[in-house]
A and B are shown apart, each in its own frame.
Chain A
């Protein structure tokens, strides 16, 4: 077994807010180990508990039960200012009365470093995010992207063991967000520390992460690499939440056979009892337009994207089906097509 401590270990953590009838359980018995230098993402819809878990690690909330270790040391009884982690806030939370340089030097000054060292390290942190030229500005004089960079520099300057990022890119426009995603990856490599990243944006999670924990209703539904999560979702919710997917309802008709509600019978669902209701899932890019394919469908919409073509199909029972094919494959709207569902591309979830 691995004897080196994890960067972060969360063990059986539960957390509720409110009391009595108004009590809401936000985290239920959550456990997760985050490795050193890992880019780890907590992904889920709003209200899934991802931000609360991050705030528990930072120390802004007290847990009800369980414990949290950072670098092998229990921290759940420590206030935020005694934990070796720093946070990048969703609102950036830059101190409006201080300049960029003073913001970045804030933690360094409290670490009792000599003045010259404070200046040197604050300058370094600002250079790392290419904000050195604006060190004398106040936060209100910066654009959203620039504030974002200062927030990163401020959190990285004290050289924490773990950087916690609470939806840091959600306030930026799409183009800037894409740029910052690349920069975040580079920063993490440069700083050589663990990043724990919270987002509701599955694309962002897939792009950035070494591993993702998909959360819903206060639990971690699935933990894995982006590839595992995308290709082998363990739950119907995960399949639906990550990327685009077709969910076809049906009933197990016999050994390893599923009769879909649209009428087609496919090979799937081995291990499910006959008569059980199931959901069969397939990604749009894994389905194939093939003469003699098992699904009969009508083309309702075609979108040419350059690199691929996205087709909206209507199945025999009226249900929609999304298919992604090579760019030159352009059937006519209203035409009849047949779709093949390769059995290695299918996921079956009990309904």
Chain B
């Protein structure tokens, strides 16, 4: 008998896995179903994937989502990098600054989305990309910040001192030592921010305008007309892209120091 393992650990673990992933697996399986009715299996088919590729609304929503995610990823990563560098040394109120930076993780998103909507309407920002990009940058900051911060905290402070000792001024030290060493953290942060923006529904739903529908918003409106295998197919693609990016981000984060 294995004394180091509690009884039923394996059974409970399997149960939790089933609980977590059965809906997703069903969704993926039925995206390959030839039958129009999303809940009755007939035979394997790639029809729905062909259909969504041919659908101009879906192509437009995909493009919007990618542009938005790229802009949010780049914008939030730049701000997060600056924030991580700025909070590197101790100062009065550093804890507060970091808490504020990470606030989007705990603030109710619906509240922030409504508040942003009201603000943009009040100051006359047109709904659409121009409204979604700054809002996405804001809530993506903590996702970009955490991996960069972790990388920076794990860096031997003597490395920057060594560079300065070897005649590198602050700018050269940053370019030749700090930045290359932070790079994996920056890539990981960007990827996480990108995925977070790609998956976002609430903020985009409030702030998108005509012609700027993103993929999650498109799925939401399509589903009101009934669940179709097309939606299963889009969702499957989004799932694969997201998982691939998160795994990439994880691998970047683990890159050798």
User: A: which residues have CB within 8 A of B?
Assistant: 58-60, 79-81, 85-87, 89-91, 93-97, 106-107, 110-111, 140, 154-155, 158
The stretch of B75-83, B112-120, B153-161 that contacts the partner chain:
B153-161
> B171-188 CB contact bits vs A (8 Å, 1 = yes)?
010001100110000000
**Residue pair B163, A97 in contact (C-beta under 8 Å):** no
A84 closest partner in B (C-beta): B167
**Residue pair B167, A95 in contact (C-beta under 8 Å):** no
Candidates B156, B162, B167, B257; contact of A111 at CB < 8 Å: B167
**Residue pair A97, B165 in contact (C-beta under 8 Å):** no
**Residue pair A158, B166 in contact (C-beta under 8 Å):** yes
Given A79-B164, A80-B164, the answer on whether A140 and B256 have CB atoms closer than 8 Å is yes
Candidates B159, B162, B172; contact of A110 at CB < 8 Å: B172
B169 in the interface (beta carbon within 8 A): yes
Pairs A–B under 8 Å by Cβ, sample size 12: A59-B164, A79-B169, A80-B161, A81-B165, A81-B166, A81-B169, A86-B165, A86-B166, A91-B158, A93-B158, A96-B159, A96-B181
B130 in the interface (beta carbon within 8 A): no
**B154 smallest CB distance to A (angstroms):** 12
Candidates A58, A91, A140; contact of B165 at CB < 8 Å: A58
**Residue pair B257, A89 in contact (C-beta under 8 Å):** no
Cα A93 to Cα B156 with chains together (Å): 7
In the A-B complex, the 3 residue pairs with the smallest Cβ-Cβ separation, listed nearest first, are: A107-B166, A93-B158, A93-B162
> B30-54 CB contact bits vs A (8 Å, 1 = yes)?
0000000000000000000000000
Q: Which residues of B contact A89 (CB under 8 A)?
A: 158, 161-162
Candidates B158, B166, B180, B257; contact of A106 at CB < 8 Å: B166
Q: Which residues of A contact B162 (CB under 8 A)?
A: 87, 89, 93-95
**Residue pair A60, B166 in contact (C-beta under 8 Å):** no
Given A96-B181, A96-B257, A140-B256, the answer on whether A110 and B158 have CB atoms closer than 8 Å is no
Q: Which residues of B contact A91 (CB under 8 A)?
A: 156, 158
Q: Which residues of A contact B165 (CB under 8 A)?
A: 58-60, 80-81, 85-87, 155
Majority DSSP secondary structure for residues of B touching A: helix
Cα A96 to Cα B257 with chains together (Å): 7
Q: Which residues of A contact B257 (CB under 8 A)?
A: 96
A110 closest partner in B (C-beta): B167
**Residue pair A106, B163 in contact (C-beta under 8 Å):** yes
Q: Which residues of A contact B172 (CB under 8 A)?
A: 110
**Residue pair B161, A93 in contact (C-beta under 8 Å):** yes
**A222 smallest CB distance to B (angstroms):** 29
Candidates B164, B169, B177, B256; contact of A95 at CB < 8 Å: B177
B66 in the interface (beta carbon within 8 A): no
B58 in the interface (beta carbon within 8 A): no
**A198 smallest CB distance to B (angstroms):** 14
**A293 smallest CB distance to B (angstroms):** 53
Candidates A85, A94, A96, A106; contact of B168 at CB < 8 Å: A106
Given A95-B177, A97-B181, the answer on whether A158 and B164 have CB atoms closer than 8 Å is no
Cα A209 to Cα B158 with chains together (Å): 26
Q: Which residues of A contact B169 (CB under 8 A)?
A: 79, 81
Given A93-B156, A140-B256, the answer on whether A107 and B167 have CB atoms closer than 8 Å is yes
**A155 smallest CB distance to B (angstroms):** 8
Q: Which residues of B contact A95 (CB under 8 A)?
A: 159, 162-163, 177
Given A96-B257, A106-B168, the answer on whether A60 and B161 have CB atoms closer than 8 Å is yes
Q: Given contacts A93-B159, A96-B256, list 8 more A-B pairs with CB under 8 A.
A: A85-B165, A87-B162, A89-B162, A93-B162, A95-B163, A97-B181, A154-B166, A155-B165
Most buried by A among B162, B163, B164, B165: B165
